[in-house]
Structure 1
């Protein structure tokens, strides 16, 4: 049973070593807002600030709005030039705070190491949003989400999607999913998953692989920070609360970092940052959890499905 429902959204949490682990995208967001606010207070256009700082207008615009390319890191030298041009006193509290945003946004990320560079743009976006999360509320329909997949389940799914296409080697993608699981569910995040019944009953991989996957899911549920609930096909949902696509609603330890939603539209991961829309996903997830089986009944359902599959596998 997860402790998520007892944890207020945005409460400050610390990592295993007692330090707050900032999300780099959240820091990019705060850096952009801080620089935008200063520029508007000083009455500068992008062009005027560019002339004064020596930083191109396009770089200023991208820094103020990081969601155009969330994987582009801010340049520390450019940020310092902008602060000088905006007449922020070096060494002041304001300078130090904004500089810290830039440094944390530009920090190294585990998926940049050689073993993960080919894990896919969509998965990189998921990893970026999940980094340092305090809560992840996820919904999946036909398939189990990447973050809970076993290596073999992931491998079969990658090959089924890509076939002989440009991503014929599944290993980097599989490693990425395994590392995401280790970094989040194996880290400090509370994880709350709602699964459609089809994700348990459907067999998109060989029976032995599916059986291993169901047993792995049950093992994850032994962690008190993990909640998995199964929504049966006849579950009663309130009007307007039927999800159209898989999503993850993510919150962060620092209460000043707004939540972000990632929506999986098959070809790429879409980010939702508008506060009203993000709040709508939080409400949706609450309704889905209420309509689904309880944690205990979900575990029993998954255990029964695994038992039936094991019997079928033995017979074969």
Structure 2
């Protein structure tokens, strides 16, 4: 499994920033010495201006030379390795997925190479567990993905995200759902029924945990989420975890350690307030049975 490219971009930026400060250069001085523009140096050190922009390997090597890092040294190999990991092929860059929407591209970027994904959803099931038909109906109903997004690409992207994460058997996926996400019918009844059965099938896997928070559940003060989120960690403990927050119009990244750990604590509290995995499965089966009876 490839390392997460965004985590490696962060480590690349941190390493180059530390080297520049250690050598006493500002951006302009390093630019003159390396031949790399100051704007490129700034973007490489801080990748969050545009997380989908890949660093340039040639620029990184020029910067290392200008920073007097010996070629073949441990430091050179480490930093060059971060850069190479950051530019590795991403499945969503191929034509079938390039118009699946910026928000979904951000989720795919953060999920790549994950070891755990802890997700919360309130009113709708998250894209990573959706069936194709559920996804298609939701895409048609929502116009906020932007003019360059394509419905077919969005649906393919959601299915591929599921395959690349839950489908690998290597990712621990913990989903906490509000009861409304199960009971509400944002799609036709037959589509919702198929979706509930699909969710139950996913729950049969050892790597997938789904817990439902009943409307009447007692939550500790301050632990009521305001928006859907995903807290993602990676196999390499030095790759810092990232949180993606869905605020409807775009996906926001949370990277400050204190804030990220706050989401981890929030997720723990939500799981404690929710039904157990077994009781959640029983609840979803009951909801599916009641829905089937109305059709």
Q: TM-score range by the shorter chain?
A: over 0.9
The CA RMSD over aligned residues, in Å, is: 1.1
**CA shift at 1:92, angstroms?**
0.8
Cα deviation per residue 1:58-89 (whole Å; 9 max; x = unaligned)? 00000000011100000000000000000000
Q: 1:106 to 1:208 in 2, by over 3 A?
A: same
Cα deviation per residue 1:104-147 (whole Å; 9 max; x = unaligned)? 10111000001000000000000000000000000000000000
Q: 1:307 and 2:284 equivalent? A: no
- Aligned residue-pair number: 293
Match of residue 35 from structure 2: 54
Q: 1:88 and 2:46 equivalent? A: no
How many Å separate the matches in 1 of 2:10 and 2:148? 32
Match of residue 249 from structure 1: 231
How many Å separate the matches in 2 of 1:70 and 1:96? 23
How many Å separate the matches in 2 of 1:94 and 1:170? 45
Do the aligned residues in 2 keep the contact of 1:153 with 1:205 (CA within 8 Å)?
yes
Match of residue 42 from structure 1: 23
Do the aligned residues in 2 keep the contact of 1:138 with 1:192 (CA within 8 Å)?
yes
Q: 1:220 and 2:182 equivalent? A: no
Report 1:131-150 matches (<5 A).
131-150=112-131
Show structure 2 runs of 5+ residues with no match. none
Q: 1:161 and 2:145 equivalent? A: no
Do the aligned residues in 2 keep the contact of 1:125 with 1:269 (CA within 8 Å)?
yes
How many Å separate the matches in 1 of 2:228 and 2:150? 25
Q: 1:175 and 2:176 equivalent? A: no
Do the aligned residues in 2 keep the contact of 1:23 with 1:133 (CA within 8 Å)?
yes
**CA shift at 1:167, angstroms?**
6.3
Cα deviation per residue 1:263-305 (whole Å; 9 max; x = unaligned)? 0000100000000000000000000000000000000000000
How many Å separate the matches in 2 of 1:51 and 1:162? 46
Do the aligned residues in 1 keep the contact of 2:69 with 2:75 (CA within 8 Å)?
yes
Do the aligned residues in 2 keep the contact of 1:119 with 1:172 (CA within 8 Å)?
yes
Show structure 1 runs of 5+ residues with no match. 1-14, 16-20
Structure number with greater CO (CA < 8 Å, separation at least 6) is: 1
Report 1:276-291 matches (<5 A).
276-291=258-273
Match of residue 59 from structure 2: 78
Match of residue 65 from structure 1: 46
1:162 alignment partner, SS class: coil
2:167 alignment partner, SS class: coil
Do the aligned residues in 2 keep the contact of 1:162 with 1:168 (CA within 8 Å)?
no
How many Å separate the matches in 2 of 1:169 and 1:288? 34
Cα deviation per residue 1:22-50 (whole Å; 9 max; x = unaligned)? 00000000000000000000000000000
Moved over 2 A (4+): 165-169
Match of residue 265 from structure 1: 247
Do the aligned residues in 2 keep the contact of 1:159 with 1:168 (CA within 8 Å)?
no
1:262 alignment partner, SS class: strand
TM-score by length of 1: 0.91
Match of residue 233 from structure 1: 215
